[in-house]
Amino acid sequence: MTARRDKSESGFSLVELMMVVVIIGILSAIAMPLYSRSRYRSFALEASEVLGRITSAQEAYRASFNTYSDTSNDHALSGASNGASGLLGNNWWPALATRDADGQVDFYTNLPASWNQLGVRPRQRVRYSYQTIAGRPGITPSVAGTNPTLGYATLPTAQMGAWYFAVASGDLDNDSSYSRFEVSNLTPGIQITNEIE
């Protein structure tokens, strides 16, 4: 003989099931922005890593040649310029417009000679565009020209010795607001603006 179950013990009621669905919806609404933020933050690690490599390469270059390497002058020759050659803010490598659907681009395709000579070797595909300019004592870089989407590095007006600036910029979430990371031998650490944009 089988025991009969009481109707009140038969499982979830419709109200209880709806409450579970609402709770899962609330939790997912909270989790998705947090997941996106942590995802973009992990993408932003690339900029810090490559700028660290640029810093090491610039110091090694200076130890060998008694000056820092300026990569801004040969982009127009390679066809990868975003504007006039030799102006900070116009020469980004790789050029911003060449991204794939995932927001990445191959760093080494048509690599300009100055970047090759500097010896920066990031992973194959990158999400940010980079530039580095350099000068001798008493030389202030030109910031003529325009590139409003990526901006310019913050430059002091008078340098006491040889100097360089390296900048990474990118739009990780495709909202036309760019994050920017700057490093220089004149300032300690990496200056970050809009880290996860």
155 and 143 Cβ atoms separated by less than 8 Å: yes
Tokens of 58: 């610039």
Cis status of the peptide bond prior to 33, with omega within 30 of 0: no
pLDDT by 10s per residue, the chain, length 197: 566 656 666 678 889 999 999 999 999 999 888 887 888 788 888 899 999 999 999 999 999 988 888 887 644 333 333 333 334 445 678 876 667 877 888 888 888 888 888 888 887 788 888 888 887 777 665 544 444 344 445 555 556 678 888 888 888 877 878 888 888 888 788 888 887 76
Is residue 50 packed enough to be buried (19+ CB in 10 Å), middle (13-18) or exposed (0-12)?
buried
> What's the mean pLDDT when you consider all of the chain?
75
In this prediction the pTM is 0.70
pLDDT in tens, 61-104: 999 988 888 887 644 333 333 333 334 445 678 876 667 877 88
**What is the pLDDT, as a whole number, of residue 56?**
94
119 and 112 Cβ atoms separated by less than 8 Å: no
